[in-house]
Amino acid sequence: MSLIRFNNLYKTNLSKQLLTRSILTRSILAAKCYQYRDFHDSIKSNNTTTSPSSNQSIIPQLNQPTSPSSVIETPLTQQPKPSSIEYLSDFNNLEIISFFMIGLCTLNKPILNLCIKLFPYVPISIIKKLVYRIYCGGETIGEVKQTGLRLHDRGINNMMISLTIEDCEGNGESQIDTDYIVSETSKSIEKILVPHTLEMINQAADINDIPPGYVALKSTGFDKNAAATLKDFNTSKKAEFDSLVEKISSVCQTIYDSNEKLFKKYNDRTSPFVVGVIDAEKFELQEGVYELQRRLYEKFNPLNKPISIVGTLQMYLSNSASLLTFEEKFANEKGYRLGLKLVRGAYLHSEKNRDEVIHKTKTDTDVNYNKGISYCIDSILNQKGNESIIGHLVVASHNSESLKLASNKIFNESTIGNNNKLNVVLGQLLGMADSVTYDLIKNLKINNVIKYVAWGPPFETKQYLLRRLEENGDAVKNDNGWPLVKASTAILFKRLLGRA
Ligand SMILES: Cc1cc2nc3c(=O)[nH]c(=O)nc-3n(C[C@H](O)[C@H](O)[C@H](O)COP(=O)(O)OP(=O)(O)OC[C@H]3O[C@@H](n4cnc5c(N)ncnc54)[C@H](O)[C@@H]3O)c2cc1C
């Protein structure tokens, strides 16, 4: 399809979309209260809150059937896919050349598989020249700050930064210096997130226009033998687990103190300025991670105050709906608030007990994800201040339907004047789903959008880049490959001829 034909088709689709959007918004709103109760009640009936005092699993029963009546048929599947071309105009020539390279690597599955095999042998200096800038925020604090400003030029006003030094497998052989990670992460909050957020706020018309800055905290980066510590957190590894909690707590204290200080100065702000986010790991480590999250919530998310800590729930887990209900009830009993990042889940292919722990189909995961985000958004919007137990949500996804469902729920006539909508933020990984991010900002005019920005030493970011390349296997079906090669070539030629 030619570029012009594609553009025209996209414009026609866009106007159709705008026409249908208000109808969709109304139908979603009409269904909102019903969905909310339905989701909550269906899981509540299956659970009672128990204190996690023994080593016994407190994670609710697996594979609970979803009642057919609670399945939402979202009409958003009728919405057109976002443009695969327009978004490239926001990038500079070097970045367009990187996209061209990604397009070549993802032309088809055999080529991609070959690139994945060769990738470990390609020197980091070449990788840095070719694709690094698309996916990584840089090696130093100064480079990450520059990335933040480049994102701002694209209308993305904040980031979720992640220092990518971790023992991914947690197999006890890692050489990571956990004290260095603690000090470097705390430094990144003070030197990147706080100044960047304030700079964005100072340029904004309204203090509530700018989403918070996030720092992703991977528990596997804060312990030399993280897998064992997280698995046996309540028995043989109690002491190591307490030390892991202490290390992450010291970073969270920096976040909490920064929020306290900034709220004194800017008391009209509704959402936090900076937030710590606990990443989710493979299933066998998750009980330890949930326990870590609960301890941090209790310490840093007191009632009637903005959230400082966000934990992650993987909605591809068949027990995730029950878990969400459990966490809310437990928080209520203990007297703290919940911050949540909802993801579908990244360990589908490596999960040992996939059939037992993960939803049977992608559709089941999608339905569960959409119900989860709808429920959390309704809870947050139901209050205008800091009263709700669920106080902050990051919709972490590249799925345009889930993101549009979220944005339709956050931005509509009923939420005008409700600043709690700033407590729902949409996040995508840097270099992934850029067309979706563009669509949210430029076409749907959503300002609560952030990018997850990995940064750190070249060797570690090389591992991260490999994972992104592998993930592009799924994206081969979307707007990578040949369409990306054609689009980036077209833009470069237009710029060369002075027409763009
Ligand atoms: C900002 C951000 C932070 C993230 N943090 C984490 C994290 O802490 N922990 C983590 O695990 N992941 C994390 N992820 C990754 C996330 O879990 C997903 O793997 C990724 O975003 C792809 O899912 P999607 O929602 O974007 O969309 P889609 O492309 O629509 O969904 C793909 C996902 O659907 C699910 N799926 C696919 N096929 C099936 C099937 N047959 N049966 C059941 N489910 C299926 C899988 O989860 C798969 O990853 C993060 C993503 C983002 C954007």
The response to whether residue 316 sits with its C-beta less than 6 Å from ligand 1 reads yes
pLDDT number for residue 287: 97
Using pLDDT thresholds of 50, 70 and 90, give the confidence band for residue 492.
very high
Can you give the residue ranges of every domain in the chain? 137-455
Which of 36-40, 114-118, 306-310, 425-429 shows the lowest per-residue confidence on average (mean pLDDT)? 36-40
Of the two residues 348 and 310, the one the predictor is more confident about is 310
Q: 43 falls in which pLDDT band (50, 70, 90)?
A: very low
Tell which residue, 361, 428, 442, 356, has the closest CA to residue 399: 428
Q: Is 405 in the pocket of ligand 1 (CB under 6 A)?
A: no
DSSP code string of 180-236: HHHHHHHHHIIIIIHHHHHHHHHHSSSGGGSPPEEEEE-GGGS-TTHHHHHHTTTTT
The string of DSSP codes covering 352-393 is TTHHHHB-SSHHHHHHHHHHHHHHHHHHHHT-SSS-SSEEEE
Q: What is the DSSP letter of 79?
A: S
Ligand 1 close to Cβ of residue 100 (< 6 A): no
Exposure b/e, 17-55, CB count within 10 A at least 16 = b? beebbeebbeebeebbeebbebbbebbeeebebeebeee
What pLDDT shows up at residue 483? Answer: 86
The pLDDT of 474-488, averaged and rounded, is: 74
Rounded (5°) CA angle 320-325-328 = 120
Position 273 scores a pLDDT of 98
The answer to whether 338 and 297 have CB atoms below 8 angstroms apart is: yes
Q: Give me the mean pLDDT over the 247-263 stretch.
A: 97
Q: What is the mean pLDDT of residues 412-441?
A: 91
Q: What percent of the chain has pLDDT over 90?
A: 55
> pLDDT band for position 33 (50/70/90)?
very low
- Look at residue 39 and tell me whether its pLDDT is greater than 60: no
pLDDT at position 487 over 80: yes
CA of 377 to the centre of ligand 1 (A): 19
Q: What is the pLDDT of residue 61?
A: 37
DSSP-derived 3-state class of residue 317: strand
Nearest Cα neighbor of 36 from 343, 345, 388, 309 is 388
Tokens coding 140: 């130093």
CA pair distance 17, 383, nearest whole angstrom? 30
CA dist 264 and 29 (Å) reads: 36
| CB contact at 8 A, 401 and 79 | yes
What are the angstrom distances between the C-alpha of 377 and each of 46, 388, 401?
22, 11, 16
Pick the closest to residue 466 from 103, 110, 121 (CA basis).
Answer: 121
Return left, alpha or beta for 138; rule: phi > 0 is left, psi -120 to 50 is alpha, else beta.
Answer: left
Give the pLDDT band of residue 167 (cuts 50, 70, 90): low
How far away, in angstroms, is 397 Cα from ligand 1 center? 7
Share of the chain above pLDDT 70, in %: 79
Q: Is the CB of 396 under 6 A from ligand 1?
A: yes
Q: Look at 95-104, 121-130, 177-186, 328-337 and tell me which has the smallest mean pLDDT.
A: 121-130
Cβ of 429 closer than 6 Å to ligand 1, yes or no, is yes
Q: Report d(CA 178, CA 258) in Å as an integer.
A: 22
CATH code for 137-455? 3.20.20.220
CA dist., res. 377 & res. 36, Å (int): 10
Average pLDDT over residues 181-188: 95
Q: Is 399 touching ligand 1 by the criterion CB < 6 Å? A: yes
Does the beta carbon of 359 sit less than 6 angstroms from any atom of ligand 1? yes
β-strand partners of 161: 215, 453
Quick one: pLDDT at residue 478?
A: 60
Ligand 1, pocket-test mutation among 344, 357, 429, 479, most atoms within 8 A of CB: 344
**CB 22 within 8 Å of CB 307:** no
List of residues 6+ apart from 83 with CB closer than 8 A: 7, 10, 435, 438, 439
- pLDDT in the model for residue 63: 34
Burial of 321 (0-12, 13-18, 19+ CB in 10 A): buried
Tell me which residue has tokens 């589908």. 348
Of 36-50, 241-255, 346-360, the poorest mean pLDDT is in 36-50
pLDDT at position 472 is 66
When pLDDT is averaged across residues 101-118 and rounded to a whole number, the result is 89
Mutate to test the pocket of ligand 1, among 343, 350, 440 (most ligand atoms within 8 A of CB): 343
What's the half-sphere exposure (Cβ side, CA atoms, 13 Å) at 339?
35
Minimal-distance CA residue to ligand 1 atom 29: 399
| Residue bearing the CA closest to ligand 1, atom 33 | 344
pLDDT confidence of residue 254: 97
Atom of ligand 1 nearest to the CA of 343: 17
Place 9 in a pLDDT band, splitting at 50, 70 and 90: very low
* Per-residue pLDDT at 108 exceeds 90: no
Task: Evaluate: CB of 312 within 6 angstroms of ligand 1.
Answer: yes
CA of 1 to the centre of ligand 1 (A): 30
Among the listed residues 306, 388, 391, the one whose alpha carbon sits nearest the alpha carbon of residue 341: 391
Q: How far is the CA of 283 from the centre of ligand 1 (A)?
A: 14
User: Who wins on pLDDT, 159 or 176?
Assistant: 159
372 CB near ligand 1 (under 6 Å): no
Region 344-360: what's the mean pLDDT?
91
Give the model's pLDDT for residue 213: 98
Average pLDDT, the chain: 82
Report the separation in Å between the CA atom of 262 and the middle of ligand 1, taken as the mean of its atom positions. 33
With contact defined as beta carbons under 8 Å apart, do 97 and 489 qualify?
no
Please tell me which residue, 86 or 356, carries the higher pLDDT value. 356
Name the band, by pLDDT with cuts 50, 70 and 90, for residue 174: low
Cα dist from 165 to 50, 124, 267, 411, whole Å: 35, 16, 35, 37
Average pLDDT for residues 376-402, to the nearest whole number? 93
Which pLDDT value is given to residue 332?
96
CA of 403 relative to ligand 1 center, distance in Å? 13
| pLDDT at residue number 18 | 35
pLDDT at 58 over 50: no
CA atoms within 13 A on the CB side of 108: 1
Could you tell me which residue, 368 or 85, shows the higher pLDDT?
368
